Structure 1
């Protein structure tokens, strides 16, 4: 038995959408009592730290309806069914930015909100970027503007609240740590 395991007694599907689904689980707690858990199921995603030869971070600005505003973030995208995360990273980098990389290095994977969602983000570092001549277009419902920011500019965007999502903040802090360790 896993420490503090909650055994699922029943699951009720509430909503099935294009990207997520919502379910309510009745669980048996470690002490034998029962409780309900509202859970969002998500296929997972990738995010890419992409640095140009000029040491600029590739970012995209896009509108996020849940926040009702545009934010600046690292390129990212949802895993397609059966797709390996590294292949998603290659595809999303090209579609969102027009760049391709020689190879992708997996940095880490993390859960975005484990209290109520199973979404996992696989973070990659794109090596040896080059602009692709005939890059694949963005998804039909996706509108982005590509930015090339220095680390200092990204830090300023964080202070200004233009960068405010967890994956991008994680990426900026990762780059800050890499820079500090190089000294």
Structure 2
């Protein structure tokens, strides 16, 4: 066993919502002392880097209540119970952009805030987008505007803090790195 592991002594569910559950845990620290941890359990999510046939990035503008502002982001959404991440990515791409991808591949998975949450985001690249004739509808409480921008325009939005979330910043850095390495069409 790793010498850094914290042993859970007691776990109490404080809140259970439609997206997250909040627990307060009493833990035994590696030095034998005890402490409390607040932990958010999340079902996991996907995020998609959608690239049009013209090489543009498809983004969504949406209001984020936690921040009380509109943000520009890559399409994303939470995993439904029993749903595989690839299926979630395909569904979310269709719902949020009205497009289907000719190819979709997994890039990386990462934890968003491991200090207090177990949310794991699976990032996918979606290329060869085709508009759906019969658009799939968004969730009833979801409202978005769709933008098609160049990488340069997206990076400018990042500088202006129109793009302000980690998954989208991560995606833009990934695209920039691909460009620098000459792998844009890889």
TM-score interval (norm. to shorter): over 0.9
User: 2:62, 2:144 within 8 Å by CA — same for their partners in 1?
Assistant: yes
Provide the residue aligned with 2:72 in structure 1.
Answer: 72
Encode CA deviations 1:126-171: one digit per residue, 9 max, x unaligned: 1221111112100000000000010010010001000000000000
In structure 1, the residue matched to 2:129 is: 129
What is the deviation of 1:175? 0.4
The 4+ residue runs of structure 1 with deviation greater than 4 A are: none
Output the aligned Cα RMSD.
0.9
Distance between the aligned counterparts of 1:18 and 1:42, measured in 2?
A: 10
What is aligned with 1:107?
107
TM-score (norm 2): 0.97
CA displacement, residues 30-64 of structure 1 (integer Å, 9 cap, x when unaligned): 11111100001100000000100111000000000
* Structure 1 segments unaligned to the other structure (5+ residues): none
What is aligned with 2:175?
Answer: 175
Equivalence for 1:162: 162
Corresponding residue number in structure 2 for 1:17: 17
8 Å CA contact 2:151, 2:172 repeated in 1: yes
Equivalent in the alignment of 1:91: 91
Give the match's secondary structure for 2:181.
helix
2:54 corresponding residue in structure 1? 54
